[in-house]
Amino acid sequence: MERFRQPRSKRRVHKRFVIAVEGEKSEKAYFDFLQHLFQVSIKTLTSKSGNSSPDKVVHRLKKEAQKAGRHKEDQYWIVVDRDSWNEEIMHALYRSEFSVAVSNPCFEVWLHAHLFTPAILGDCNSYVQKIRRQIQSFDKNLCGFNPNSKTVNKAVLQMKQYIRFTQNNLWPDPGGSDLFKLVAEIMSASKHR
């Protein structure tokens, strides 16, 4: 007697994170680490040279959302640096249909929080140099930077406290990153699997 197979449901059970980033390497490497560490589904949409403006990041995310079809459990995030974008561009990001995480001045501010107490150091190069003093091989591919659940949680808690006391705008003040919101969501999704 032949068995009848039930058709497979097309409904996914687990949350998926789709993250459009401004950079080409560092952000992707970091979210790849998190995907492996927390065993969650993360798709990182990187920028190619010359296509990193916030409006192009939003466009890539919209295109992916249309292509993949949005599921209610999925989260779509825009991750950008504050550095040289004017306030009008930043306000437009926050008016988009997606969640936004901004590091001021750059993504390395977030990486810095895994190793040190958040602080205003100056430009992006200042953060890179301080990380390199701790991890000599550190580069854009995050060579030598190996976050674990303890250091990621430390960064989330430290930055959450730092932002609470310094944020005056929609985006973080210098030395801050609200990436803690996205990373906390990723950690939470891992716990609910």
- For the chain, give every domain's residue range: 16-191
Dihedral angle sign, alpha carbons of residues 101, 105, 108, 109? negative
Q: Mapping DSSP to helix (H, G, I), strand (E, B) and coil, where does residue 103 land?
A: strand
> CA–CA distance from 98 to each of 47, 59, 128 (Å)?
17, 11, 29
Instruction: Determine the pLDDT at residue 87.
Output: 81
Residue 4 banded pLDDT, cuts 50, 70, 90: low
Beta-carbon contacts of 94 under 8 Å, excluding residues fewer than 6 positions away, are 100, 170, 171
Across the range 106-124, mean pLDDT stands at 95
Residue 83 banded pLDDT, cuts 50, 70, 90: confident
The 10s digit of each residue's pLDDT in 141-185 is 999 999 999 999 999 999 999 987 666 678 888 899 999 999 999
pTM (predicted TM-score): 0.88
Percent of the chain having pLDDT more than 90? Answer: 63
Q: Residue type for 151, please?
A: T
Instruction: Determine the pLDDT at residue 167.
Output: 62
With contact defined as beta carbons under 8 Å apart, do 183 and 31 qualify? no
Across the range 35-50, mean pLDDT stands at 92
Instruction: Determine the pLDDT at residue 135.
Output: 96
CB hemisphere CA count around 178 (13 angstroms): 21
Closest CA to 82 of 95, 60, 100: 100
Average pLDDT score, the chain: 88
